[in-house]
């Protein structure tokens, strides 16, 4: 794939942000990658250019029928000052699974990775070096054909933008409070809960707002049929440690196959822990808590990294997990992931992709 490159003039370059106060997702680097798809022609007009607005036809199909998908991955500045991507192929392959489910165009993961590396090379000064900070990478695709009518678009726009970030949650890497909703559902088997499409997130906002009003950071979703089986948090997958057993819900068709979830499974298995992907109900969690067997709960996600859960609310009852403190397993996993991502230790799982 040929990529045309237009660099921002020196006078257009933005001031680099204060790395101690990055927040999440509000700042964007100087450049972006864009390419266009047309049926019959495939992907074309690949370019890296200054970060700028798009011009979209008001009848662009993404705006009406929701063919809009995305990914999230990160670039890290290692302690050797080298920049590395964490499992980029896994994210780009997942994007193709999402695209297939949403009847959108397939990308070539190798070509997109090459384009991403070029973009990162140009904007490498945007990869922060402060502890806990990273460059969040957002590849996305939207349907751009100008037409009304529910069918697959014949035109798409694919783009990658870069955002220097700190922790996703306002709590930083401290335990979050989670609201288990028995009123709303996120996804159902046969639907689109297992792919990263924008509508899943739109559908979650009302429950998240109600949880926030009640003083909680996020929502834990239960299955849509029986309202018993734990699914995920929407912004992260979820893990439990009960009486020594590490449990996460299986990929049953309605939860996202998280790359960090998969990494946490690999690491905990390598440590020889008793790890299971199995159905787990909210009642099992509450019962384990009553029996003093609920040791830890934590979430995993690209944005969320490893997020300990300090409190769970369900049907008028609030329970404190590990006295509201980060548990030893969540801490150990966080440390291990960080050590790999920031190259404090060998890339023993072969997950890191060097920029150059
Ligand atoms: C990610 O973890 O990359 C996501 O896309 C989740 C989103 C809430 C930022």
Average pLDDT of adjacent 10-residue blocks, the chain of 356 residues: 96 94 95 98 98 98 98 96 97 98 98 98 96 95 98 98 92 90 96 98 96 96 97 95 98 97 98 98 98 98 95 96 96 96 95 93
pTM of this structure: 0.97
Distance CA 78, CA 56 (A): 38
Q: What number does the ligand 1 atom closest to the CA of 71 have?
A: 5
Which residue CA neighbors atom 3 of ligand 1 most closely?
A: 72
Helix (H, G, I), strand (E, B) or coil at 320: strand
- Residue 343 Cβ inside 6 Å of ligand 1? The answer reads no
- Give residue 243 CA to ligand 1 midpoint distance, Å: 30
Report the nearest-CA residue for atom 6 of ligand 1.
235
Q: How far is residue 95's CA from residue 97's CA, in Å, rounded to a whole number? A: 5
- Report the alpha-carbon distance of residue 314 to residue 77 in Å, rounded: 40
25 CA from centroid of ligand 1 (Å):
10
Q: Is 235's C-beta closer than 6 angstroms to any atom of ligand 1?
A: yes
Q: Are 142 and 68 in contact (CB under 8 A)?
A: yes
* Pocket flag, ligand 1, residue 303 (CB < 6 Å): yes
Determine the Cα–Cα distance for residues 228 and 165; give it in Å rounded to an integer: 35
1-4 contact pairs (CB < 8 A, 24+): 1/35, 1/43, 1/46, 1/108, 1/111, 1/114, 1/115, 2/46, 3/33, 3/46, 3/47, 3/48, 3/115, 3/118, 4/45, 4/46, 4/47, 4/48
Q: Which of 270, 317, 325, 257 is nearest to 296 (CA)?
A: 325
Domains of the chain: 4-165 (3.30.470.10), 176-341 (3.20.10.10)
**Which atom of ligand 1 approaches the CA of 73 most closely?**
3
pLDDT of residue 131: 87
Mapped onto helix, strand or coil, the DSSP state of residue 120 is: helix
Ligand 1 close to Cβ of residue 302 (< 6 A):
yes
Q: What is the DSSP letter of 25?
A: S
Whether the Cβ atoms of residue 234 and residue 221 lie closer than 8 Å to each other? yes
Question: What span, in angstroms and rounded, lies between the C-alpha atoms of 38 and 150?
Answer: 18
Ligand 1 pocket check for 237: Cβ under 6 Å: no
For residue 133, the 8-state DSSP code is -
Query: CA angle 269-272-277, nearest 5°?
Result: 40
Report the DSSP pairing between strands 4-5 and 42-50.
parallel
Three-class DSSP category at 36:
strand
How far CA 328 is from CA of 106, 215, 249, 306, in Å, comes to: 41, 25, 21, 12
* 256 CA → ligand 1 middle, Å: 11
> Residues of the chain with pLDDT > 70: what percent?
100
| Distance from the alpha carbon of residue 292 to the mean position of ligand 1, in angstroms | 32
Q: Which residues lie below 8 Å from residue 256, measured CB to CB, with a gap of 6+?
A: 193, 194, 195, 196, 232, 237
Nearest 5°: phi and psi at 139? Answer: -80, 140
Of 94, 164, 170, 159, the C-alpha closest to 136 is: 164
Q: Dihedrals φ, ψ of 6, to 5°? A: -120, 115
Q: Give 130's contacts (C-beta < 8 A, 6+ positions apart).
A: 19, 20, 22, 166
Which helix (H) or strand (E) is 89 found in, with range? helix 88-101
Position in ligand 1 atom list of the atom nearest CA 303:
2
Token readout for 25 is: 């997702």
Distance (Å, whole) CA 250 – CA 258: 11
């Amino acid at each position: 794939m040929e990529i045309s490159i237009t660099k921002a003039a020196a006078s257009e370059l933005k001031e680099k942000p204060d790395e101690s106060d990055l927040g999440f997702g509000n700042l964007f680097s100087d450049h972006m990658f864009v390419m266009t798809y047309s049926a019959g022609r495939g992907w074309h007009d690949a370019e890296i250019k200054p970060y700028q607005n798009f011009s979209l036809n008001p009848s662009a199909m993404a705006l009406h029928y929701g063919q809009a998908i995305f990914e999230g991955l990160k670039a890290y500045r290692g302690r050797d000052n080298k920049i590395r991507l964490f499992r980029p192929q896994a994210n780009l392959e997942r994007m193709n699974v999402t695209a297939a489910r949403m009847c959108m165009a397939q990308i070539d993961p190798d070509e997109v990775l090459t384009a991403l590396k070029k973009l990162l090379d140009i904007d490498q000064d945007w990869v922060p070096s402060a502890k806990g900070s990273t460059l969040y990478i957002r590849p996305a695709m939207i349907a751009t054909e100008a037409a009304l009518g529910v069918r697959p678009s014949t035109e798409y726009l694919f783009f990658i933008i870069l955002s220097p970030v700190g922790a996703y949650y306002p709590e930083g890497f401290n335990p979050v409070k989670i609201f288990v909703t028995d009123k709303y559902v996120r996804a159902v088997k046969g639907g689109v809960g297992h792919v990263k499409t924008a509508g899943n997130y739109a559908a979650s906002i009302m429950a998240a707002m109600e949880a926030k009003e009640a003083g909680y950071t996020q929502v834990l979703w239960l299955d849509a049929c029986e309202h018993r089986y734990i699914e995920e948090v929407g912004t992260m997958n979820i893990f439990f440690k009960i009486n020594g057993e590490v449990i996460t819900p299986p990929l049953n068709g309605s939860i996202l196959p998280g790359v960090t979830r998969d990494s946490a499974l690999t690491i905990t298995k390598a440590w020889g822990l008793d790890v299971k992907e199995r159905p787990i109900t909210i009642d099992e969690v509450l019962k384990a808590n009553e029996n003093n067997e609920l040791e830890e709960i934590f979430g995993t996600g690209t944005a969320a990294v490893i997020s300990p859960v300090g409190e769970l609310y369900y049907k008028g009852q609030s329970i404190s997990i590990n006295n509201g403190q980060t548990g030893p397993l969540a801490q150990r996993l966080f440390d291990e992931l960080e050590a790999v991502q920031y190259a404090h230790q060998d890339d023993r799982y072969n997950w890191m992709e060097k920029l150059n």
